[in-house]
Amino acid sequence: MKRRLPPLNALHTFEAAARLGKMIAAAEELSVTPGAVSRQVRQLELSLGVDLFEGPKNKPQLTVAARELLPELTAALDQIEAAVSRVRDTATGTLDVSCFSTFTVKWLIPRLFDFNTTYPEIKIRLSSPVHGTDPGRDRYDVMITAEQGVVGEQKNTVRLFPERLGVVLSPTLSARIQLTDLGSIFRHPLLHTKTRPDAWANWGDAIGHQATAPAGLEYEHYYFTLEAAIAGLGICVAPWHLVADDIRLGRLVAPFGFRPSRYVYVAKRSAQQSKKLDLFCAWLACQAEQDDLLGPAWG
């Protein structure tokens, strides 16, 4: 029997737009223009004879028909994707990996040479998360993120390492101001980050020191803050895994060591079975274990 289906490309495009909630986000995921997304959605509407979006163009809302269609369409596309993956599953191809920008720059990229050398047929495509930490929703193969509390065994989750926080500054600044105790830190310029405004409070909790950090220079991203610390502009709180290489190279010092925070870094993988995904997650776990073995002094 001939199937009476709308164009598959139009269905695929609508599913992305409806799932992500924005035409622009769907265009980014599908590597097309927002105009192309709109045209495909309109084609599907004409094929079905119903409207799928309503409201202003800059903030469209799903219609009743669209809300009814979306969950079953997503499930159907997931089944197609899983079936295709099983047929062509090999240790080759591309993995989409999402993680925080600073983690990517300071930890993951410096270690990727080892992965690329070991598995030259697997390409890693990196990006920063937009919608949180759901690899199924955001169509990533792996999302590296931080979770609060003790992370036990979870399905499709690889535990990497606990976060350890410490005060860091440049050797030049350290020699000039000569920090003698924890209280002396707050008499000098402190650096803050918009994406983690609670860093100083987290560190205070970790060491049992409840003093309020005074205002200071604030940067948009953590890697800006770390570079400012390296340049001698002030003192910042940083996780060990983001500054370990800088400390080994003598670009930063941590006079009071590092203490565990409330966070644990994990890699959340998609539920699809994939040899290349298995290899990458095993490699991540190995790299994280090596970092733990070379871990920081506790101070």
pLDDT of residue 215: 74
CB atoms within 10 A of CB 8: 10
Q: Which CATH architecture has domain 8-88?
A: Orthogonal Bundle (1.10)
Q: What's the mean pLDDT in 89-93?
A: 69
In whole numbers, what is the pLDDT of the chain averaged over residues?
86
Assign 137 to helix, strand or coil: helix
Instruction: Please name every residue paired with 235 in a beta bridge, in sequence order, or none if there are none.
Output: 190
Residue keyed to tokens 């030049």: 172
pLDDT of residue 213: 66
Angle subtended by helix axes 109-118 and 275-293, to nearest 10: 130
pLDDT of residue 217: 87
Q: Which fold has domain 163-261?
A: D-Maltodextrin-Binding Protein; domain 2 (3.40.190)
pLDDT at 128 over 90: no
pLDDT at 288 over 80: yes
Comparing CA positions, the residue from 143, 31, 147, 139 lying closest to residue 98 is 143
For 157-180, what is each residue's pLDDT tens digit?
Answer: 889 999 999 999 999 999 998 888
Q: How confident is the model at residue 298 (pLDDT cuts 50, 70, 90)?
A: very low
The percentage of residues in the chain with a pLDDT greater than 70, rounded to a whole number, is: 88
CB atoms within 10 A of CB 212: 9
SS3 content of the chain, % helix, strand, coil (to 5): 45, 20, 30
> Could you please report the per-residue DSSP string of 86-119?
HHH--S-EEEEEEE-HHHIIIIIHHHHHHHHHH-
Q: What's the mean pLDDT in 102-125?
A: 93
Q: What's the mean pLDDT in 84-101?
A: 78
> Could you please report the per-residue DSSP string of 162-200?
EEEEEEEB-HHHHHHH---SGGGGGGS-BEEETT-TTHH
Domain ranges of the chain: 8-88, 95-162+263-293, 163-261
pLDDT at 205 over 60: yes
Q: What's the mean pLDDT in 170-194?
A: 87
pLDDT of residue 140: 85
Q: Which CATH architecture has domain 95-162+263-293?
A: 3-Layer(aba) Sandwich (3.40)
Q: What's the mean pLDDT in 20-31?
A: 87
Q: Let me know if the fold of 8-88 is the same as that of 163-261.
A: no
Q: Name the strand (E) or helix (H) holding 148.
A: strand 142-148
